[in-house]
Structure 1
Amino acid sequence: MLLKIIQFYMPEFIKKKKLNELFRLTADAFQSELPELQGFSFAACLTKYALFTKEQAERYVQSGCPLEEVKHRLYQNSWIFGQKLRKSLQIGTWEEAVTALKAIYKVIGIDFQYDRQGEIIIKQCFFSKYYSGEVCSLVSSLDEGLAAGLSGGGRLCFYQRITEGGSCCKGYFSGGL
């Protein structure tokens, strides 16, 4: 029932609460301080999140350190987040997991389309105006973890990105429930 509701409407306070959780788990994965979010609207927080993830990812990329460790932390933290969402939304089928992912992405400005063969297409992405291809590739570990948590182990993988010059993002989402 709750899943059906969030497809069409999600109150501002819930959107902001979940974005704050995403901010916390992302800051933890990047081992950085959380920026001040008190008093900002959801839209302002989303912009702050895009800038924060961009800056943190660029810091890691430019450091020359292997990125696998931070990718793993991003994935793990968002996987736990996705599991919690799966439980609270009472997701029990693959279709429900896809519906939840579409609803979540819609809230953060990502046009997520999925077909029955497992192909995904993203024609518009709020974050593409902030991220380079390298940053997007690193930060997409969050997407992979969220999708796995929501779907009980499904795999989300991109093979084309807007941030790398594609007209849209393309990939696949398979496995799980």
Structure 2
Amino acid sequence: MMSPTHIVAGPVLAIPVLVFAPELAVVAAVAAICGGILPDLDLLAGEHRKTLHFPLLYWIPTVPAVVAAVLAPAPATVGAALFFLAAAIHSIVDVFGGGYALKPWEVRSKRGVYFHRGQRWLRPKRWIRYDGSPEDVGMAVLLAIPGLRWYADPVPTLVAGALVVAVVYAALRKRLPPYLEPIVN
């Protein structure tokens, strides 16, 4: 899935905070947005879907952070819990998309997400055919609704910005490989 889809999913993950501790909802949503971005920073820092995608390891800080947030809700504890939760979920749900490749619609890649503990690549499920596909945009639009409607600023602004990026990226996605090939290879 494309990064904007992970970004707009952040406020969805923060809905329990919105319900039970509304004063912490914006902190929770922004932290989840940041956590949703973290794994994709490996586009810049190494091999994508391997360097910063940890389908299992992100749960190690997530579980105690969630417990701390429940027992002592404060901006720091809730923010940490949602940050790590979003990073953990991002690393898992990427396997349900297409494989990582410049042209994932060609269905050649067998690399969904790297599973560090097993030292192997998890195969992509292709429920979302590729990042920037029409169903990826549809998922982003659907996930954006809570962030646009239920939260105070800056959450709606961040979500709206992510949606604009999603639509532009999707419109250009199949034209990008010739421009990205020199960077990736």
Which has more radius of gyration? 2
TM-score by length of 1: 0.32
Which structure dedicates a bigger proportion of its chain to helix? 2
TM-score by length of 2: 0.31
Which structure dedicates a bigger proportion of its chain to strand? 1
